Amino acid sequence: MSKVFAKSIWVYHFAASPCNNCDIEILDTLTPKFDAERFGVKLVGSIRHADCMLITGALNSKVLPRLKRILKQAPEPFFVIAIGTCALDLGVFRGSYNVVGPVDKHIKVDVYVPGCPPKPEAMLAGVVKLKEKVLAGEKKKGVKKL
Amino acid sequence: MSKEKKKVTEIPIGPYHPLQEEPEFFRLQVEGEKVVGLEIELGYNHRGIEKLSESKSFDQILFLVERICGICSTSHPFAYVNAVEDLAGFKIPEKAKYIRTIVGEMERIHSHLLWLGLAGHFLGYNTVWMWSWKYREPLLEICEKVFGNRQHYAMMKIGGVRRDIDISKGNLIKKGMEDLLPKLDMLQKAVEDDPVIRARLKIAGTLPKKEAREYCVVGPTARASGINIDIRKDDPYAAYDLVNWDVSLRKEGDVYAKTMVRLEEMRQSAKIIKQCVDKLSGLKGDIDIDIKEIPEGEGIGRHEAPRGEVFHYVKSHGGSVPYRHKVKAPSYANVLSDEFAVIGGTIPDAALTLAAVDPCYCCTERMQATDEKGRKYSPKELIKLSQEKTEEIRKKQAK
C-alpha cells in the first residue's frame, strides 16, 4: 500500500494566517518550472480527497477552531507538512496577541520545511522526504490534541 | 417573513474553499442564478501587525511590514520608509531612488502576472495560469540574482537601500524586460482573441465610474473604471518623476478592462525599469545616508502598490520604537466594491468578479470585534466604544 501511496500524494493547502508568500511559492512549485506533479503531487480543493496537508502561517485564534474542524474530515492515513518559518516557530509574528501557533503545538507535523519563504526546491525536498517516510512504513496515528 | 421580502438562498463561500488561496468568508445571497446580496467576513489572517510594530525598533519594523503580504512584499516597506523619511525629513541619495524604483516595478510586474494567472484559473482556463506563471519565473530568477531572494527582498532601508545593484547585473535586468515584452503580447492575444474568454470577461463585474468613486477604489480597479489616479504621478516619490512613463486608463470598468489595464501597466513598468537601469549605470555615490536617531513627530508615506495606494502613518515620541503605526492597504477599499460589482451577476461570474480586484486579504485584514456571545458590533457601537475608551484614557492622564 505504501508504495502506491508514495507515488500519488494529493495535497490540500491550508492557509493559517500566513503572509501569502509561502502560498504563492506552493503554487509556484506546481507550475511548469518546478512541476511537482511529476512526483504524483496534486493540489486538491477539499481535505476529504487529500493525503497530506500543507500548512502555512502563524495560526491565529480565529483559524484554530476551523483547522481542528477541517482535520476531523481528513481520511486516514494522513500527513502534515508545515511550510515556512511562521508555521515552524512563528518567526516575526511571535508575541502577537492574536497568534496561537506554532502549528506543532496543536497538531502533529510530519515534515518541516523552513525558510521565509522556502524556495520551491526546498518544498520539493520536503515532498521527497515525506515519500521516504511513507515508503519506510511510518503511518500516521491520528491527530494530536484534537 | 413579509411578502415583499422574497426568500433568498445563501451560498457560503469559504473560509476554506477550493477557489481561494486565502481564507475569507463570503455569504452570497442568490435568487436562482442571480446574486442579490453579498456579505464579507474577514479576520482569518489577522496577526496584529500594528500592535506588534509598536514593540519593535524602526529598523526591525521593515522586516515586519514586509511580511504583511508576500506578494507585494516591497510595497509596504516602501510606504513605511516614505513615512519615516517624511517624519524625520531625510533626503535620500539619487542612486537609492533609482534602486527603489526598480524594486517596486519588478514587484508590480510579477504581481500582475500572478493575478493574470489566477484570473485564468478562476475562469477555468488553466492554460493561462500555467503560462503566465511560467513567464513570471524568469523575473523571480532575476530578483534572486540581483536582490538576493525570490520574494521578501529586504531592499528598503530608512534613508536609502540596503544593497547596491551590481551594474553588470543591470544588463540582466534589461534583458529580462526585453524577453518579457513578446510574452505579454502573447498573453494579451490569448485574452483578446479567444471569443469565449472575451465574452466572459466583458459581462462580468462592471463597476461604473460613479460607483468606483463612491467606493473610493484605488489602483488598477479605479483606473479600469476611468478614474485617473496613480500615486506615482499624483505625488511623485523615489524616481518616478525622473523617468518617462504613462498611466494606463480604461473606461469600461469590467473585468476585461481590468485585465487590459494590468497588461499595459506591465509594459510601462518594463519601460520604467529600463530607464532606471540606464540612469543608474552613470551614477556614483552612496546608496544610503547615516541615521543616528528618529526625531519626534509624525509622518505619512504612500506608495502605488500593484493593487493601489498603500498608506502608512508613523508617529514617534522619540526613542527607538514608534508610538503609533497605522497601515491602510489598497484591498481595504477595493474589496468593498465587490458588494456592488457582484450583485446582479450570476454565481459563476461572482468568483471571477471577487478575484478581479486582485484582493489581498493578508494586507487588508482587520480585527472583528464581537461580544462574548459572538455577536458582531455595528460601526456605531464601535465608535461609541472607542469614545468611551478615549474618555477613560483622558481621565487617567488627568490624574
The answer regarding whether domain B49-364 maps to CATH 1.10.645.10 reads yes
Q: Report residue B3's pLDDT band, with 50, 70 and 90 as the boundaries.
A: low
List Cβ neighbours of A48 (8 Å cut-off, separation of 6 or more): A73, A74, A75
Q: What is the pLDDT of residue B1?
A: 45
Contact residues on chain A for B134, CB-CB shorter than 8 A: 31-33
Instruction: Determine the Cα–Cα distance for residues B67 and B73; give it in Å rounded to an integer.
Output: 7
Nearest to A60 among B47, B55, B73 (CB): B47
Contact residues on chain A for B52, CB-CB shorter than 8 A: 92-93, 95-96
A64-102 confidence digits (pLDDT tens):
999 999 999 999 888 999 999 999 999 899 999 889 989
Asked if the peptide bond before residue A117 counts as cis, ω within 30 degrees of 0, the response is yes
Number of H helices, E strands in chain B: 16, 8
Q: What is the pLDDT of residue B170?
A: 83
Nearest CA in chain B to A16: B45
> Closest Cα of chain A to B209: distance in Å?
31
Q: What is the pLDDT of residue A142?
A: 45
Instruction: Determine the Cα–Cα distance for residues A24 and A132; give it in Å rounded to an integer.
Output: 25
pLDDT (mean) for B85-101? 94
Instruction: Determine the Cα–Cα distance for residues B61 and B299; give it in Å rounded to an integer.
Output: 15
Tell me if chain B has a CB within 8 Å of the CB of A2. no
**What average pLDDT does the structure give for chain A?**
87
B291-314 confidence digits (pLDDT tens):
989 999 999 999 999 999 999 999
> Closest Cα of chain B to A1: distance in Å?
28
Q: What is the pLDDT of residue B4?
A: 56
Cβ–Cβ below 8 Å for A17 and B23: yes
pLDDT (mean) for B114-130? 88
Instruction: Determine the Cα–Cα distance for residues A39 and A37; give it in Å rounded to an integer.
Output: 5
Name which of A73, A75, A61, A80 is nearest A17 in CA terms.
Answer: A61
pLDDT at B22 over 60: yes
- Please name the residues between 35 and 64 in chain A that touch chain B, using a CB distance below 8 Å: 44-46, 57-58, 60, 62-63
CA distances from residue B81 to B45, B60, B108, B140, B299 in whole angstroms, order as listed:
24, 12, 18, 24, 10
Q: Report residue B6's pLDDT band, with 50, 70 and 90 as the boundaries.
A: low
List Cβ neighbours of B73 (8 Å cut-off, separation of 6 or more): A19, A21, B66, B67, B107, B151, B152, B153
Is the distance from CB of B295 to CB of B87 less than 8 angstroms? yes
List Cβ neighbours of B101 (8 Å cut-off, separation of 6 or more): B238, B239, B240, B243, B272, B273, B276
Q: What is the pLDDT of residue B380?
A: 81
pLDDT at B104 over 50: yes
> Closest Cα of chain B to A90: distance in Å?
11
pLDDT at B355 over 70: yes
pLDDT at B102 over 90: yes
How far is the first Cα of chain B from the last one, in angstroms, to the nearest whole number? 54
Q: What is the pLDDT of residue A144?
A: 44
The position carrying cell 478615549 is: B390
Name which of B294, B365, B315, B305 is nearest B42 in CA terms.
Answer: B365
pLDDT (mean) for A107-135? 91
Q: What is the largest CA-CA distance in chain B?
A: 75
**What average pLDDT does the structure give for chain B?**
89
Q: What is the pLDDT of residue A109?
A: 92
Is the distance from CB of B133 to CB of B117 less than 8 angstroms? yes
Contact residues on chain B for A23, CB-CB shorter than 8 A: 21-22, 70
Residue B117 — φ and ψ, nearest 5°? -65, -45
Instruction: Determine the Cα–Cα distance for residues A27 and B81; give it in Å rounded to an integer.
Output: 30
Is the distance from CB of B118 to CB of B355 less than 8 angstroms? yes
B178-198 confidence digits (pLDDT tens):
999 999 999 998 888 888 888
pLDDT at A11 over 60: yes
Instruction: Determine the Cα–Cα distance for residues B316 and B89; give it in Å rounded to an integer.
Output: 13
| Domains identified in chain A and CATH numbers | 2-135 (3.40.50.12280)
Proportion of chain A above pLDDT 90, given as a percent? 54
Q: What is the pLDDT of residue A10?
A: 92
Residue B133 — φ and ψ, nearest 5°? -75, -25
pLDDT at B289 over 90: yes
pLDDT (mean) for B202-212? 89
pLDDT at B381 over 90: no
pLDDT (mean) for A8-37? 91
Task: Lay out the sheet containing B9-13: strands in order across.
Answer: B9-13, B25-31, B34-41
Asked if the peptide bond before residue B379 counts as cis, ω within 30 degrees of 0, the response is no
Nearest to B23 among A21, A32, A63 (CB): A63
pLDDT (mean) for B18-23? 79
> What residues pair up with B26 in beta bridges, in sequence order?
B13, B40
Q: What is the pLDDT of residue A138?
A: 60
> Closest Cα of chain B to A7: distance in Å?
23
Nearest to B152 among A33, A57, A116 (CB): A116
Tell me if chain B has a CB within 8 Å of the CB of A18. yes
B214-269 confidence digits (pLDDT tens):
999 999 999 999 999 999 999 999 999 999 999 999 999 999 999 999 999 999 99
Domain locations along chain B: 49-364
Which DSSP string do the residues of B303-356 spell out, in sequence order?
EEETTEEEEEEEEE-SSSS-SEEEEE-THHHHGGGHHHHHTTSBHHHHHHHHHH
Contact residues on chain B for A21, CB-CB shorter than 8 A: 67, 69-71, 73, 151-152
Instruction: Determine the Cα–Cα distance for residues B252 and B255; give it in Å rounded to an integer.
Output: 9
Q: Report residue A146's pLDDT band, with 50, 70 and 90 as the boundaries.
A: very low
> What residues pair up with B35 in beta bridges, in sequence order?
B30
β-pairing, B9-13 vs B25-31, is antiparallel
CA distances from residue B20 to B119, B352, B354 in whole angstroms, order as listed:
11, 11, 10
Q: What is the pLDDT of residue B23?
A: 86
Q: Is the ipTM of this complex over 0.85?
A: yes
Tell me if chain B has a CB within 8 Å of the CB of A32. yes
Q: What is the pLDDT of residue B85?
A: 95
Q: What is the pLDDT of residue B21?
A: 78
The position carrying cell 471571477 is: B352
The more confidently predicted of residues A137 and B72 is: B72
Q: What is the pLDDT of residue B5?
A: 61
